[in-house]
Structure 1
Amino acid sequence: MRSKLETVIAPFEREGYRRAEPAILQPVEPFLDLSGEDIRRRIFLTQDDDGREWCLRPEYTIPVALAHIAAHASEPASYAYAGPVFRMRANEPNEFAQAGLESFGRSDFAAADAEIMALTVESAAALGLSRPRLLMGDVALLTALLDRLGVPQAARRRLMRAVAQGKGADAVAALEPPLNEVEHAHAGLLKALEGQDPKAARAFVEDVLSIAGISTVGGRSAGDIAERFLARAAERDNPVNGEASGVIAHALAIAGDPDGASTAWRKLAGEAGLDLAAALDAFDERTGFLAARGVDVAAISFSAGFARNLDYYTGFIFELHDPARPDLKPIAGGGRYDGVLQRLGAPAAVPAVGASLWLDRLAGGKA
């Protein structure tokens, strides 16, 4: 196993990535805050004598990012890692080997994205997977579209969750706000908030909750509850119309190689009268860097509806699959996550992109 770990990270170290060795026992809070519902249900927890919760390392990205922040690193830095991680998985070992790489602080986003994907492909080839199936998406492209269409935040979150669930173009159904029993009961409050200044509206909701003697509900503060009411009121003020929903459905249905997908996106943007030039230029620049790094761009399958953990990623995302695996599970994956380091305590946003490989899947379950 040790020789296999060294083989898989050798391309990273040749490129100048420094070896990172974070502790196996990690504080649980960052994972619960950042890694999404899927990993929340699968981590191994323990507790120290002071009642603080810890977990066995379920992945490397967050520990490596925390170590980078703790070192007060202000310059760009790149890290490689390989070792055991621990996560409950159906029909697979709960302890397994993971290797990967993380790049922090680079301002040449397209080149950094391409480097991460190219090195991941090279590393997989070193273990015998020379022709993986390559999947790619772009959260930033979808975000730019939603920005131009003025989609409210609450509707946007529902749409992104539906995309992450693999619903593709059908995810547009999530744009319609569900009206649950609680909202029926507070329809008058929602009506009163329509069109109000956000600051005054928030103060109004907090006052109403205070008068009712409500400070927290389900772990949410009065301020959090106020934000949810305001988000729903904003949707009532500015619902997503049928034309915008149609544009989003069309975008989510775009698939093909990156060059063909870019052409389709530009055609859609032109027909809809939307300025997506900056996002699409960045997309095309990355495609050029991928080709320059030797990645077969024509073999990449891009889908606007392809998603990984959308609480985590902010831009380019990708996965590698072994066509011989009947379960269709990825053997590697990664992408851009520019907001994570600041959420972990960095004083400002830090550009970040990385990828991980699941070595047991690469080795056909024998790693």
Structure 2
Amino acid sequence: MIVKSARQATGQRILGRFRDAGATEVAPDILLPAETLLDLYGEDIRARAYVTHDPIRGEVMMRPDFTVPVVQMHMAGGAEPARYCYLGEVFRKQDHGDTRPDHPRENEYLQAGFELFARDDAADAEVFTLFADILAPYRLSAVMGDMSLVLDAIRALPLSPARRDMLLHYIWQPKRFRACLARFSSPAPRRDFGDDSGVWTGLRTPEEMQARVDRLNAIAEETPLPAEWSGRLQHLLSITGSAPQALTELQALAKEMPQIGPAVARLGKRLALIAERGIDIAAIRFDASHGRHSMEYYDGMTFSFFTHRADWPPVASGGRYDALTQVLGQGKAIPAVGGIIRPGLVAELEAGQ
């Protein structure tokens, strides 16, 4: 077991590398307003975060993540371009199921992070290369994804806006996404909701419920998604392999789905820029579904660095989150990309544990 002081020392060393890359160190609060995080993540965050009530501030949440408060700080008046780094604890509940594993994930652990706000086409490559260089001594496996490919593919489907929005909403919940896609790919029976004249109870008004019934009936009358489109989307989500091989497969798929063409071109340019920085792109595994298992605010490149240990979470992870800056910037926006490293896991690797 690595003592906390050793983890802090490792974190400070990583933080020094981020400072050397031009980042300004920041220290967001530990207690954050819960309302903002709930608006971003939905009520599901309650199952993973520590939420309490302050008599003055109202509902607050122990910091589950650094990116959101850093974006809030920057969008409140930060100049661009800007680089920030940080080191501190995050707090997340862990569901170990019925049996506690031999190496359970921690509820409180250190994160060292780097965030880059810049209108620069090379920003993705810069951040990925920075993380790859810091982690090079540990012989980790790099995985990359790109959520813009998936999001653009869904927006291209010949579906009603309501159905497309539903698929976009569930993209980070693979089981529900598959269920929706299967339902939209076959004729939907019209539902009989009956006529209940009983006493009304519940949080929704009768008008809101009727609007919901009307939406469900309208969906049932839609033409099913043609099989070729469902097949193309499933093909996209299944693409995995070395980055150059995946790029070739995506370029071929873009001939059938021209809407993903710009995202494929950006991926090709990103890989070329990473290669120019001395990284072997053939050693990067591209997984088109990678971003679906990361934070829900990523809307572009995503990446993770893994050990061979199946019971370990990623040693580092990150990605692009342009849309988040617009949401938190109240209309203002700036392209942004960043990531975090877990100093505790790095310290364990160095100790040979």
Question: Per-residue deviation at 1:338?
Answer: 0.9
2:35 equivalent to 1:22: no
Whether the aligned pair in 1 keeps the contact of 2:33 and 2:57 (CA below 8 Å) is: no
Corresponding residue for residue 126 of structure 2: 115
| Corresponding letter in the other structure for 1:290 | I
Residue 49 of structure 1 is matched in structure 2 by: 55
CA distance in 1, matches of 2:50, 2:254: 46
In 1: Cα distance, 2:73 partner to 2:88 partner: 16
**How many percent of aligned residue pairs carry the same amino acid?**
33
The whole-number CA distance in structure 2 between the counterparts of 1:44 and 1:86 is 7
Which aligned pairs between 1:288-367 and structure 2 lie closer than 5 A?
Answer: 288-306=272-290, 307-309=292-294, 311-323=296-308, 325-364=309-348
Question: What CA deviation, in whole Å up to 9, does each residue of 1:164-207 have, x standing for no partner?
Answer: 4566xx9655313389xxx724599xxxxxxxxxxxxxxxxxxx
Of 115, 120, 139 in structure 2, the residue corresponding to residue 102 of structure 1 is 115
SS across alignment from 2:69: helix
Mapped contact 1:172–1:245 kept (Cα < 8 A)? no
CA distance in 2 between counterparts of 1:277 and 1:289 reads: 19
Q: 1:99 to 1:241 in 2, by over 3 A?
A: same
Q: What's the offset of the Cα at 1:47?
A: 1.5
- Structure 1 pair 4–172 and aligned structure 2 pair: CA distance change class (3 A): same
Q: Check whether the contact 1:215–1:222 (CA below 8 A) recurs between aligned residues.
A: no
Aligned to 2:93: 88
Kept after mapping to 2: 8 A contact 1:47/1:53 = yes
2: CA distance between counterparts of 1:157 and 1:228?
Answer: 17
Structure-1 separation of matches of 2:206 and 2:85: 40
Q: 1:263 and 2:248 equivalent?
A: yes
**8 Å Cα contact 1:42/1:88 also seen in 2:** yes
Amino acid at match of 1:108: D
Query: SS where residue 276 of structure 1 aligns?
Result: helix
Match of 2:150? 142
SS in 1 for 2:254: helix
Distance 1:74 1:224 in 2: 46
State the SS of the aligned residue for 1:145: helix
- Cα distance, 1:38 vs. partner? 5.7
Once the 2 structures are TM-superposed, how far is the Cα of residue 310 of structure 1 from its aligned partner? 6.1
**Contact 2:141 / 2:284 at 8 angstroms: preserved in 1?**
yes
1:78 aligns to 2:83 (yes or no): yes
Bigger shift: residues 329-338 or 4-13: 4-13
RMSD: 3.3
How far did residue 162 of structure 1 move? 6.4
User: Does the CA contact (< 8 Å) of 1:97 and 1:359 recur in 2?
Assistant: yes
Q: 1:228 and 1:351, CA in 2 relative to 1: closer, same or farther beyond 3 A?
A: farther
How much has 1:58 moved relative to structure 2?
A: 1.4
CA shift digits 1:9-50 (9 cap, x unpaired) = 222111111111111121112222224666431211221113
Match of 1:174 among 180, 188, 193: 180
Is the Cα contact below 8 Å between 2:84 and 2:115 reproduced in 1? Answer: yes
Distance of 2:206 and 2:90 partners within structure 1: 34
Q: What's the CA shift string for 1:222-252, capped at 9, x where partnerless?
A: 6798489548735743532111111112222
Check conservation: 2:140, 2:306, Cα contact below 8 A.
yes
Structure 1 unmatched ranges of 5 or more:
189-211
Residues 1:94 and 1:215: Cα distance change in structure 2 (over 3 Å): closer
- After superposition, the Cα gap between the structure-2 partners of 1:286 and 1:249, relative to the gap in structure 1 and judged at 3 Å, is same
> Is the deviation greater in 279-288 or in 306-315?
306-315
Give the residue type in structure 1 aligned to 2:340.
S
Corresponding letter in the other structure for 1:322: T
Kept in 2, the 8 Å contact 1:163–1:305? The answer is no
- Residues 73 and 314 of structure 1, relative CA distance in 2, 3 Å threshold: same
- Cα distance in 1 for residues equivalent to 2:209 and 2:242: 42
**8 Å Cα contact 2:150/2:288 also seen in 1:** yes
Q: Following the alignment from structure 2 to structure 1, what is the Cα–Cα distance between the partners of residues 123 and 217?
A: 38
Measure the CA separation in 2 of the matches of 1:316 and 1:83: 25
User: Secondary structure of 1:63's match?
Assistant: helix
Match of 1:248 among 208, 229, 233: 233
Distance 1:257 1:137 in 2: 11
Cα deviation per residue 1:307-339 (whole Å; 9 max; x = unaligned)? Answer: 23463111111111012x231421111111111
- Answer whether contact 2:274 2:281 (CA < 8 A) is retained: yes
Q: Tell me which moved more, 237-246 or 357-366.
A: 357-366
CA distance in 1, matches of 2:332, 2:217: 30
State yes or no: 1:276 paired with 2:289: no
Q: Does 1:184 align with 2:191?
A: yes
TM-score by length of 1: 0.78
CA 1:334/1:50 → structure 2, altered by over 3 Å: closer, same or farther?
same
Distance change in 2, residues 1:262/1:78 (3 Å): same
TM-score (norm 2): 0.81
